Amino acid sequence: MTSDKNLFKKFQNDTLSHDDLLHLREQVDRLSDDEIELHLLDSAINSKGSTLSQPADESLRKRLIGEARRDKLRYTIFKRISIAAAVVAVALIGLTILLGVRLSHLNQYDGIIAQEHLIVTGKGEELLTVLPDGSRVKMAPESELKYSLSTFNEAGRNVNWSGEGLFEVTKNAGSPFTVHTDNFDVRVLGTTFSIDIRRDNDNALVYLESGSIELNVSGDNKPHRLVPGELATISRTTGYIEIASTPDYRVNATDAMINFYDTSLKDVMTCLEHYYPRKFNAPEELLKEPFAGALPKDNMFEAITIIEKAYGMYSVTDSATVSMNLRR
């Protein structure tokens, strides 16, 4: 086997064979940089007529290390790349799992966001509901409020409504509050108003206590603005709107009594059915007659007595029905 000195000497003279280069690489791998430098210096001194300046020596040493360790360097780089690739692969797997978990959670959130929230009051039941933005709805009996977070958010606050209630809306100029009903929409920013719309009633009522609201009726392209103290009566059959100043209007959802303002007897009977567990009947010829006044929420027999006196009727009551008849 060629000695270390001869290998370095051959390298210096560029006479290395293929086998010599392989042996030299083995030697370089075993030697430190200082030992390599000593071998180069020794081979230069022992060369006939050869002199080696310091810059030439440094250049030769760098070339030797570069050439002799090239494969090792490539292996080291490849190994580092492999490790990095493995780390990246693990990171990607972890990220994929994390994203999978996140997407799974997002899907759950999507379900929660899209989920419809339904609040319903029963017969004779009154309820205070607080919405996600802090707005409050005082619900009268047999009323229904629906919303979902997909349509009740910072972009806009939308609810669907049926029944009677008082809305106290939290002000948010960037997120209009809209109440949707079968016949009209009420759009506000921050105000207090009441809505009375029931499927069996001929008319719907919207009353503004404070702030400002815009009333948009189906089939009517003209929006109607109400000022505080105004009561809008909307015909559910024709869409006709009558707006009148009614500063003494009392909202049933917050009052101790059930209040009526020139309400048809038919609608009065229907309203009583929301508060009392009976079916109320009255003579056909009286159903369109108006009634104005207040009836108790918690005393059915007193309410019946007031109506009897107002129309000259008497009533027959059983466990399911209150039948009113004209006195002859």
> Do both 185 and 294 map to the same domain?
no
Q: Is residue 21 part of a domain?
A: yes
Q: Is residue 108 part of a domain?
A: no
**What pLDDT, on a 0 to 100 scale, did the predictor assign at position 213?**
94
Looking at residues 113-135, what average pLDDT do you find? 91
For the chain, the domain total comes to 3
Where in the sequence is the domain holding 17, given as residue range(s)? 4-68
What's the Cα-to-Cα distance from 207 to each of 13, 139, 227, rounded to whole Å? 107, 15, 9
Element (H, E) at 261: strand 257-264
Beta strands at 279-281 and 321-326: parallel, antiparallel or unpaired: parallel
pTM exceeds 0.75: no
Beta strands at 127-130 and 192-197: parallel, antiparallel or unpaired: unpaired
Domain final residue, candidates 207, 235, 255: 255
Q: Is residue 110 part of a domain?
A: no
Q: Is residue 106 part of a domain?
A: no
pLDDT tens digits along 161-172:
999 999 999 999
Confidence band of 189 (pLDDT split at 50, 70, 90)? confident
> Do both 237 and 196 map to the same domain?
yes
> Do both 152 and 249 map to the same domain?
yes
> Do both 182 and 270 map to the same domain?
no
Task: Pull the structure tokens for residue 166.
Answer: 């008082």
pLDDT tens digits along 230-243:
999 999 888 899 99
pLDDT tens digits along 6-24:
766 666 666 666 676 667 6
> Do both 122 and 158 map to the same domain?
yes
> Do both 283 and 251 map to the same domain?
no
260: CATH: 3.55.50.30
Looking at residues 13-40, what average pLDDT do you find? 65
> Do both 222 and 319 map to the same domain?
no
Question: Contact at 8 Å (CB) between 293 and 260?
Answer: yes
Domain final residue, candidates 255, 283, 306: 255
Distance, C-alpha 31 to centroid of its chain:
68
**What pLDDT, on a 0 to 100 scale, did the predictor assign at position 279?**
96
Q: Is residue 103 part of a domain?
A: no
Q: Is residue 136 part of a domain?
A: yes
Residues 6+ apart with CB under 8 A from 120: 142, 143, 144, 145
> Do both 152 and 203 map to the same domain?
yes
Domain final residue, candidates 224, 255, 286: 255
Check the CA dihedral 62-65-71-73 and report its sign. Answer: negative
pLDDT tens digits along 264-290:
999 999 999 999 999 999 999 999 999
Asked whether the predicted pLDDT for residue 1 surpasses 90, the reply is no
Which segments within 199-289 are labelled E, that is strand?
203-210, 213-217, 224-226, 230-235, 241-245, 257-264, 279-281
Instruction: Give the whole-number percent of the chain exceeding pLDDT 70.
Output: 66
Q: Is residue 260 part of a domain?
A: yes
Task: Pull the structure tokens for residue 214.
Answer: 């815009």
> Do both 206 and 263 map to the same domain?
no
Residue 22, amino acid: L
Beta strands at 213-217 and 184-188: parallel, antiparallel or unpaired: antiparallel
> Do both 180 and 233 map to the same domain?
yes
* Region of poorest pLDDT, from 126-140, 212-226, 308-322: 212-226
> Do both 197 and 300 map to the same domain?
no
**What pLDDT, on a 0 to 100 scale, did the predictor assign at position 202?**
86
Q: Is residue 176 part of a domain?
A: yes
CB burial class (10 A; 0-12, 13-18, 19+) of residue 241? middle
> Do both 239 and 166 map to the same domain?
yes
